[in-house]
Structure 1
């Protein structure tokens, strides 16, 4: 757990004990601002049910996704390729906040819409060839608070954090090489969550 009474800012604390860096910045917006962005993203993003091809079979998930970027970037994961849509005004505003807070730059964003806690994400790492190697991924959350976990690929150590409404978490350096992450499902959460993951695609 982060000691909020420490003189060191929470965002300067690496949540991982080794082999990577994850910084949690906490809430960046007031409740009113966060709710405004949540409503805007929920209603005005071009959401589509996510797809995956597993052992040659196409799977359609309940979770919805959207892919935006500086240009029509192709992004392939789970054997499915997506073509980036042009940025919306709200996404550009949020990208600017993420860049200002983290000192990083991003050229694309993969969004996820989880309708309730029963929708989650299995253990994985974001190591697709389209992504900048060891580049930063800024994860911004709106809506229901959810637990987010990391598991070391070798010794299986687990580190978890609660992602708050209007918060930012950044994964960088060798995190994707050595750690898996997931959004565990839970029946305790009944409200939706919108997650933005700002990324850098390398052409």
Structure 2
């Protein structure tokens, strides 16, 4: 499927949004299989000296022995499923970039969220490429400059869209999926990345 690609106009950032990157019906089938097959967890993260349950369900699938950690949380490597392997191949083709792991996030309701952060862990390298596939309910994706409080840009991540972040984006920008009081159906987010071994 030939998806429309939009380059986001942000300084010191390279973000590209492929709308309708996957056909709606195929995306629904992927989501149903992933919800059923994924070994979901809700671990606790350690932030500002306290433990908090992750406000969403997560899972990490990767090549053998490729581990990933953040906020005091360390994900063991789960073996790629046939579907995740097929999706990875397609994402790699679009990005012209190899990936050895994918972090899956299940936002069950509008109260599930992802706080402000940058994907800047040392294991991701200096200018990491992060490919983020959205399936299910549309959620708002906010961006702000590091050190700022004001949201500078927001976009809607719709079912079947693929957001690619590369270059110096993680050096200068943070992003979030905020909580909302709206009644929302579930959303899956698959973020593909390359972990340095």
TM-score by length of 1: 0.90
Offset, 1:135: 1.6
Offset, 1:19: 0.5
1:188 paired residue number: 182
Q: How does 1:1-203 map to 2 (within 5 A)?
A: 10-11=4-5, 13-154=6-147, 156=150, 158-203=152-197
Inter-partner Cα distance in structure 1 for 2:143 and 2:181: 20
Q: Contact 2:13 / 2:167 at 8 angstroms: preserved in 1?
A: yes
Q: Contact 1:50 / 1:62 at 8 angstroms: preserved in 2?
A: no
What's the CA shift string for 1:40-86, capped at 9, x where partnerless? 11111010003201244322224110001112212120012111111
Q: Contact 2:4 / 2:20 at 8 angstroms: preserved in 1?
A: no
3-state SS of 1:150 partner: strand
TM-score by length of 2: 0.92
Offset, 1:14: 2.5
More displaced stretch, 125-134 vs 38-47: 125-134
Measured at CA, do residues 62 and 120 of structure 1 come closer, stay the same or move farther in structure 2, by a change above 3 Å? closer
Q: Contact 1:20 / 1:174 at 8 angstroms: preserved in 2?
A: yes
Offset, 1:194: 0.6
Give the unaligned 5+ runs of structure 2: none
Offset, 1:191: 0.5
More displaced stretch, 171-180 vs 78-87: 78-87
3-state SS of 2:31 partner: helix
Inter-partner Cα distance in structure 1 for 2:37 and 2:143: 31
Quote the RMSD (CA, aligned, Å): 1.6
Offset, 1:10: 4.5
Measured at CA, do residues 45 and 20 of structure 1 come closer, stay the same or move farther in structure 2, by a change above 3 Å? same
Structure 1 segments of 4 or more deviating over 6 A? none
